[in-house]
Amino acid sequence: MRVLVTGGGGFLGQAIVERLIGLGHEVTSAARGDYPELRARGVRTVRLDLGDAAAVAAAVAGMDAVVHTAAKAGVWGPRAEYERANVDGTRHVVEACLAAGVARLVHTSSPSVVFDGHDHENAGNDLPYPARHEAIYPETKARAERLVLGANGPALATVSLRPHLIWGPRDPHLLPRLFDRARRGLLRIVGSGHNRVSITYVDNAAEAHVAALLALGPGVPWAGRAYFVNDAEPVVLWQWLNGLLTRLGLRPAKSRVPLGVARTAGAMLETAWRTLGLPGEPPMTRFVAAQLAASHWYDLGPARAAFGYAPPVDAEEALRRTVEWWAPRLDPSPRA
């Protein structure tokens, strides 16, 4: 099968590409950057701006299937950038698939599209979108997800997957930020510290995408829906984070900040960053505070029933691989 993976040079995208190559598929990676390491493995690579509809159409042409992982992530940044990448870019992918006769489209979404600030425990696919999102990322990803699911039909089968907190070796996002804050003594437990969350080891997230892709096709009864995909069991967030930090010789988080205090600080920092045009992102936002304090873990039953998703890597093996990869790459010494 000829498969285009948008964002194929990214953390999740590379894992999906590697899995597809291992199964013998012909893979093209489309990304903004250049990834010679993918070409060395026989992957065709295309430089692509999702906001360019003609370029997206050219990349999609001739494909049997598309896995759309590319997006602008993060909790802070100009709205126009999120709109261009997440909404316009996804619209361009959907339109290109329909025009080119592509039969399968797997979209990477996020549980944050349904996060309303409250606990979600063993939540299923019936969670509604909230009336209002507290960050641009989940808002634009929710709109993208609607575009993908709304396009499902006799010609194009679509599905949206919602992996939560993807982690593991080569992670350029979640773990480096965590390690940096731990080194500088800036980690604080927000809320009670007892909240349970779903996390997703990167190889498990890749397996979910590939399993969905191979089972998907026009007319399958489970197409046109969104599915949570994560590791088999949730973790107590702060216990898990502190355990990982300890195994890597970094300082665990000990002090606590009440959720109300963290949200108030987040609101004040957001205002300061918007008003003053400060660089980077605020050290705390209302959305991040709520995410760190709430329980949000999800039922794998629907994904298992629909396309047979079963996380291949268990919790201890995932942790062992992650520590083994990161340990020689970390400087545990404190930083100012």
**Domain locations along the chain:** 2-171+199-231+298-312
- Mean pLDDT score of the chain, rounded to an integer? 94
Reported confidence tier of residue 336, pLDDT bands at 50, 70, 90: very low
- Beta-carbon contacts of 136 under 8 Å, excluding residues fewer than 6 positions away, are 77, 79, 82
**309 is annotated as an active-site residue:** no
The percentage of the chain sitting over the pLDDT mark of 70, rounded to a whole number, equals 99
Distance separating alpha carbons of residues 119 and 65, to the nearest angstrom:
36
With the CA atoms of 145, 148, 149 and 153 taken in that order, what torsion angle do they form, in degrees rounded to the nearest 10? 180
Structure tokens at 176: 């480096």
Q: From the candidates 137, 201, 298, 309, which is the catalytic residue?
A: 137
Residue 316 φ/ψ, nearest 5 degrees? -70, -40
Quote the pLDDT of residue 335.
Answer: 53
pLDDT at 266 exceeding the cut of 70? yes
CA distance to 58, 104, 128, 331, per residue, from 50 (Å): 11, 19, 28, 36
What CATH topology corresponds to 2-171+199-231+298-312?
Rossmann fold (3.40.50)
Structure tokens at 309: 């998703």
Number of H helices, E strands in the chain: 13, 15
The beta strand positions in 40-84, using DSSP E, are: 44-47, 65-68
CA distance to 20, 28, 45, 214, 240, per residue, from 42 (Å): 12, 9, 9, 21, 37
Question: In 10 A of CB 36, how many CB atoms?
Answer: 9
- How do residues 11-20 score in pLDDT, each as one tens digit? 999 999 999 9
Question: In 10 A of CB 327, how many CB atoms?
Answer: 12
